[in-house]
Amino acid sequence: MASVNGSAPRCEHLDGLPPVIPRWDGCRDCQAGDDDWVSLLLCLSCGWVACSDDSPGRHARAHYEETDHPVARSLLLGPGPGQCWCYVHQRAV
């Protein structure tokens, strides 16, 4: 079945994700190292907040690699579906 993100198949990693609340208002790893981030992502499995791949630390990707939590959503877009990224499929979903 095609999804809203073009002709790509629908991402099953979005199925059954619990509602999450961001645990922090910034990337804790960047804050600990006094680093800056470009944008933040919210892990849709556990609520972890970390910097995106366009930030020097790439801590959201590190969180995925450590936990296998597959989908993160941009925090810049506010509430609602927003822009999500599936690390397994390596695409927006």
Between the two ends of the chain, the Cα-to-Cα distance in Å is 13
At residue 90, the pLDDT reads 93
Confidence of residue 10 (pLDDT cuts 50, 70, 90): confident
What is the per-residue pLDDT across 28-83, written as a single tens digit (0 to 9) for each? 999 999 899 999 999 999 999 999 999 999 999 999 999 999 999 998 755 555 68
Q: Which residues contact 43 (CB under 8 A, 6 or more apart)?
A: 20, 49, 50, 60, 63, 64, 67, 69, 71, 72
86: CATH: 3.30.40.10
Domain boundaries, position 43: 2-92
80: tokens are 């609602």
Report the number of distinct structural domains present in the chain.
Answer: 1
3-state secondary structure of 50: strand
